Amino acid sequence: MKSGMSIRTARKWVRAFGICAVIAALMPALFGTIPAAVVCVTLVLFFLAAAVYTARRWLRCPHCGRALNRNDGAFCQFCGQSLEPEKEDGK
C-alpha cells in the first residue's frame, strides 16, 4: 500500500497541528476578549481536526494497511514489518 506521504512526514504534520492547537488554546489568555476567544476556539478545533484527519489518512502500515494509532516505533504492531522505506545500497 503506497500513500502520498511518508509515515515520518505524517508524524511531523500531526505533531505540528497539535502544537498549533495548544498555541491557539493559550491565545485567549493574551487577548481576553470574547470575539478573540471564539476565533481561538475555532482555530483549536480546526487544528485538532487536521491532526486527526492526517493521522487517520496517512499513519498506516505500508504493508498491511492498518492504522498505526499511537505507534511511534519502527515496526508495525500488527504485521511486524518495518515502517521505514527500503534503502538502496547504491552498488
In this predicted model, what pLDDT tens digit does every residue of 41-87 receive, in sequence order? 999 999 999 999 999 998 888 888 888 887 788 888 888 888 877 65
First to last CA, the chain: 27
> What residue spans define the domains of the chain?
1-91
pLDDT at 91: 47
User: What per-residue confidence (pLDDT) applies to 1?
Assistant: 47
Burial (CB < 10 A; 0-12, 13-18, 19+), residue 1, is exposed
* Phi, psi (rounded to 5 degrees) for 57: -80, -45
Residue 63 C-alpha cell reads as: 504493508
What's the pLDDT at 62? Answer: 84
0.75 surpassed by pTM = yes
Tens of pLDDT along 1-21?
455 788 889 999 999 999 999
Which grid cell sits at 57?
489518512
